[in-house]
Chains A and B, each alone.
Chain A
Amino acid sequence: MALLLQAIANGLLMGFLYALVAVGLTIIWGLMEMINFAHGEFLMLGMFGAWGLSVAFGLDPLVSILPVGLVMYGLGVLVYRLLMRRVQRGDPFTQIFATVGLLFLLQNSAVAAFTSDYQYLTNTLLTRLSGAKIQILGINLGIPLLIGALLALVLFLLLYLLIDRTEFGLALQATAEDREAAMLVGIRPQKMFAVAWGLGAALVAVAGCILANFFAIYPQVGFPFTVLAYAIVALGGFGSILGTLLAALVVGVVQSVTTVYLPPAFKDAFVFASYILIGLFRPQGLFGRF
């Protein structure tokens, strides 16, 4: 029982990180209804950004969030302007090809630049705190993961306020709802889509900066996160920001509890089994509104 509670607690903490990984996709896929199979590659670039800044300038990954986020925002906008805008109006499959091509390009450019070796960050604030924990009701919470999770939660809530409470966020939602109507009230859809791609790339790269403290950094790290993010967005009810948070917590707990009873290889299998089951029986997602 104690083991189970411990697993649930760890799963919840990971879930906050997953929420930040997935929410960029909630905007691109859930809200704007565009596909992006290179989502995890943006995360990988974020991790390498944090690693590079740490090795070259001794910057802590938590500080690198700002420069990495800004650069990746620019890259996201660029990807939309140069590539996705061209394939947006055609057959929806064209978006799959284009982003699978992007996946290959980004992942293997990282292989060319950094090799496929695993890199680890060791001298960061969070890794120096490793081993430190606090005990609540007999459950141990690792301080580094707790800080990472809280940071992810704060960023997530800021994004929620941006999308749900500001004029800009309403313009974004209006574009997602009906492009032509949005144009009539003076919103430029192209600009909104570009911003959505910028935000999507920046958010997942920022998540990468935090994750760089806990995971090995290597070029192929992204794809598992991509599929995990798709499962989370679908479970959360496409386009629902808070649904994404709840679904990410569910996914974190499912993964963590699975590893208590089964070999670790199965931790994602149950997440994807629930994706299929929920897709079949509740296509609007666990927390969808329609």
Chain B
Amino acid sequence: MDVSNRRLGPRLALGALLLLALVYPIPLQFSGYTYFQTVGFLVLLNAMLGIGWNVIGGWAGQFDFGPQVFFAVGAYMAALLLIHFGLNPWLGMVAGVVGAMVLSALVTYPLTRLRGHYFAISTVAIWMIAQPIGATWELINGSRGLFIPVQAGHGPLRSLAELQFAGRTKALGYYYVALGLFVLVLVAAHLVERSKLGFYFRAIRDDQEGAEGIGINSRLYKVIARSITAGVYAVGGVLYGFWALAVFPEQALDLNWSTLPMMATVVGGIGRLWGPVLGAVILIPISQLMSTTLGTGPLAGRGIDLIVYGIIIILIAALRPTGLLSLPWRRWLGWAA
């Protein structure tokens, strides 16, 4: 009984979650509350980015404030390839991922000489350098940004192929694309976590000298970890760019692309596969909830949601820095042996 319970419980929960995620937008589609589909899209996007951030931040233990650079690389590459060569956005996404991973490897290798807080600051530094480049580089149209030529208005299959949904099904289409990419990233992260790679990452985090002592090249594996993060961020960047139909530096290089997924990861449980997912489900709707409840009142648009984020993260840091998933859920749910 106990043994089967231990396996059955989590599997049932996983199945139920997947079903819920699949069914969630359908009643909203019929009732016309498509806004909440967009909330779901943002939750999935941030959860995906959080899973990506968790690879470098949670497993390899290197705090990264600059992955939005690779978010921008993905978004810009797919947009440029579409505008200049008419390349399909899915191929553009592959190109963006490869581009972001290569750039990340080149930039991160020298940075891995720095450790701890100094590495963290150096990722901020790279972002500070990327901003004026993004704002002035003529190839990517400087601070004016790029607009993605609208091609929507076709059937669902062609919309999916062109990654452009419009009208009443816009929110629905992007929700399911985000769900598909999220599941892909989650499965990939699960495989990495179980592989030798995941073991090396955690070994470096827990004891860098010890890891080097058993022959793990810590600089190489930090570079690999950050490049995986960069790849996930590039996927997110392409998705967001096509959703917004525009890519410009202040949007793509927004610091919130690293702070929100990072907070989600910390709230849910840093270094745990499902940590960023739980965190995103808790944090992201707060923003949307606030803007609907505050309406047009005096406190609307005054950052109340971000104050709540700040308080949550402070409380987590002070009371349970290992995150909500580290609470003894298995015992509470009766899944423990």
The one of A92, A95, A271, A279 in contact with B114, judged by C-beta atoms closer than 8 angstroms, is A279
Report chain B residues within 8 Å CB of A35.
117
Q: Is the CB of B118 within 8 A of A105?
A: no
Stretch at the interface among B129-137, B191-199, B215-223, B225-233: B129-137
Q: Does B259 contact A (CB under 8 A)?
A: yes
Check B118–A234 contact: CB distance below 8 A: yes
A231 touches B313 (CB 8 A): no
For window 115-152 of chain B, which residues contact chain A by CB distance below 8 Å? 116-118, 120-122, 124-126, 128-129, 131-133, 135-136
Question: A91-B321, A93-B270, A272-B129 are known contacts. Are A101 and B314 too (CB-CB below 8 A)?
Answer: yes
Query: Closest Cβ of chain B: how far from A177's Cβ, in Å?
Result: 19
CB-based contact B122/A279 at 8 Å: yes
CB within 8 A of A111: which of B61, B302, B309?
Answer: B302
> Could you tell me which residues of chain B, from 305 to 320, have a CB within 8 Å of some CB in chain A?
306-307, 309-314, 316-318
**A276 surroundings in chain B (CB, below 8 A):** 110-111, 122, 125-126
Task: Check A101–B129 contact: CB distance below 8 A.
Answer: no
Per-residue CB proximity of A213-246 to B under 8 Å, as 1/0? 0000001000100010011001000000000000
Per DSSP, chain B at the interface is helix
Given contacts A104-B309, A108-B307, A265-B135, contact A230 B124 (CB under 8 A): yes
The answer to whether B259 touches A269, judged by C-beta atoms less than 8 angstroms apart, is no
Do B113 and A263 touch across chains, with their CB atoms under 8 A apart? no
Please tell me the number of chain A residues within 8 Å of chain B, measured between CB atoms.
46
Is A182 an interface residue, CB under 8 A from the partner? no
Which chain B residues lie closer than 8 Å to A275 at the CB level? Answer: 121-122, 125
Which of these binds chain B: A82-90, A144-152, A191-199, A200-208?
A82-90
Q: A35-B117, A112-B299, A231-B121 are in contact. Are A94 and B317 (CB under 8 A)?
A: yes
Interface residues of B (CB under 8 A from A): 61, 63, 110-111, 113-114, 116-118, 120-122, 124-126, 128-129, 131-133, 135-136, 255, 259, 262-263, 266, 270, 299, 302-304, 306-307, 309-314, 316-318, 321
Show 24 A/B contacts (Cβ-Cβ < 8 Å), sorted by A: A86-B318, A87-B321, A92-B116, A93-B270, A94-B317, A96-B63, A98-B313, A98-B318, A101-B263, A101-B310, A101-B313, A102-B310, A102-B314, A104-B259, A105-B310, A108-B302, A109-B307, A269-B129, A272-B125, A272-B129, A275-B121, A275-B122, A276-B111, A283-B118
Q: Which 6 A-B pairs have the closest CB atoms?
A: A105-B310, A104-B310, A108-B303, A101-B313, A272-B125, A265-B132
